Structure 1
């Protein structure tokens, strides 16, 4: 096994990662797992130089994380944890601190105990050093922010978000970024910022950044909008809070509507005509359940703002 061959395998892994923009973990898990197992078999059976072995171990750690995320996304958390542990071992042997930190971040994301998850996320950020690419620093800090938000730690959440934004600001033109972190940009960070402040029940801080992220994406649909008419919990959908209409509903969805809760104490919103009439109203076209846009950015925006997905 040569260095050139490992480079080819890494490029193949990057191409396969694009499947995550279109498919869920239930569809991709076996594909990613087979790639991981094939590389693991090569390392066991083929002789190579120390440098090539180091590169192959780094690739193995990356593939284990890819398979681990698909396992978690597909409803197999135990398999995901095992793959993250294997990723940590391979990253440590390869001396790849970036992938080691990312493995901790993935593990934190699926840890049920919120305080423990925040501690694991802090360990991921502790792997950052002077050689860590800016995109990786931003990714680890934003995942730390999410873990702190879920744990109800607003000060630490804000600190982590600021560190992530500083990392992106420090990124130099042409700086090499690993493919698994290349999708992290200002828009992604705005989405995560909105998620965190939503989780912490700070709608006045969540709405502006989510709106900015929405404006920066491709043409929004109700399924890809953080303020979808009948979607999952939104920044203003907590019980007891006012639920204003979007600033310009006709501009976003060509739908002259206002938002009202589906029922007392409901965390969901329903899109109603704004005519002021009474009685039972039909859902407007904007809240239909047609297929969502599946562009990579729209897909990522949908999964990020729904609160059920993680960054690949």
Structure 2
């Protein structure tokens, strides 16, 4: 029930709320001004942000009412509009701030997970459009220091992902073009782990393209580039792709040694390691599909089937696309092992 205006004004006075705001905002919106912290409807400015951060951390025990649905909707709309305006401003030559970088990173992360579920084909257009936006910001906006480096990283990662999506869509020439561009952008970013990951992506694609020797050489370069300046998890990822390349060249002993090294590196990884965001998909090397496929290529379908079955059982319930692929490769191992009567 809405109190009479005099009662609302009395409540506002008790909480130090401007009576003009009571009249302007109406019931119950003006109550937001009585909550602890920065006004929910304050503009998105550095000053308001610092005020909100100070309010949030000053007294953890202070509680506030849940934000009403209409306020949440308004907050989301205004934030989205603000970010879009900042992006537009940057593309028109204005200064690029933190909010633009945050929005672009969020879109990139969402794209990674969309690819996990749908595959590369539906993601290529989105990746290309987002990369176009990053490129325009790099070319036209004002940015310096770490912001410039971050924008180059976004260009690297969007181009790398576009290459992966194109390759997954069965367009290897388009993939190589994207990766070539990504390598150029990576030359502007002094980050060995990211550069090594990019090179490893291109190398793994070369395995599928029948260029196993070239792939092995590129993966060696990726390992040298990463060196000891990356985490054990990233090292294990590169090593397991080296297993695939070694198997494709027919070197079973080297492939086995590399698999053992990948397992050791994975065991050295710890929860507190500062792993890059893109390494979220990495699992135990022996459970990865590339490991099972390596042994298929070496003419050992029994080992391949066991590894692929273990990997299948370890998949998350929502990994529907990967589950289908694992079943297909397990079926291939069955056939190559002479057990086609099982189907």
Tell me if TM exceeds 0.5: yes
SS in 2 for 1:94: coil
CA shift in 2, pair 1:93/1:139, >3 Å = same
Find the counterpart in structure 2 of residue 168 from structure 1. Answer: 266
Find the counterpart in structure 2 of residue 267 from structure 1. Answer: none
Q: 5+ unaligned residues in a row in structure 2: which ranges? A: 1-95
CA shift in 2, pair 1:226/1:76, >3 Å = closer
Following TM superposition, by how much is the alpha carbon of 1:177 offset from its aligned partner in structure 2, in angstroms? 2.0
Find the counterpart in structure 1 of residue 165 from structure 2. Answer: 70
The alignment status of 1:103 with 2:198, answered yes or no, reads yes
Alignment of 1:1-312 (within 5 A): 1-111=96-206, 112=209, 113-186=211-284, 189-218=287-316, 224=323, 228=327, 234-238=332-336, 241-243=337-339, 259-260=340-341, 271=343
Q: Does the 8 Å contact 1:214/1:225 carry over to 2?
A: no
Structure 1 stretches of 4+ with a deviation exceeding 4 A read 218-221, 225-228, 230-233
Q: Does the 8 Å contact 2:120/2:165 carry over to 1?
A: yes
Paired residues in the alignment total: 244
Post-superposition Cα deviations, 1:262-302, rounded to whole Å, max 9, x if no partner, equal xxxxxxxx62xxxxxxxxxxxxxxxxxxxxxxxxxxxxxxx
Post-superposition Cα deviations, 1:190-229, rounded to whole Å, max 9, x if no partner, equal 43322211211123432332232222235799x936774x
Equivalent-residue separation in structure 2 for 1:200 and 1:188 (angstroms): 16
Higher relative CO (Cα under 8 Å, sequence separation at least 6) belongs to: 1
CA shift in 2, pair 1:125/1:34, >3 Å = same
CA shift in 2, pair 1:154/1:39, >3 Å = same
Bigger share in helix:
2
Q: Does the 8 Å contact 1:210/1:226 carry over to 2?
A: no
CA shift in 2, pair 1:187/1:117, >3 Å = closer
Equivalent-residue separation in structure 2 for 1:191 and 1:14 (angstroms): 22
Q: Does the 8 Å contact 1:149/1:196 carry over to 2?
A: yes
CA RMSD for the aligned pairs?
A: 2.7
Post-superposition Cα deviations, 1:23-68, rounded to whole Å, max 9, x if no partner, equal 2322110111111121111111112122211121112111111111
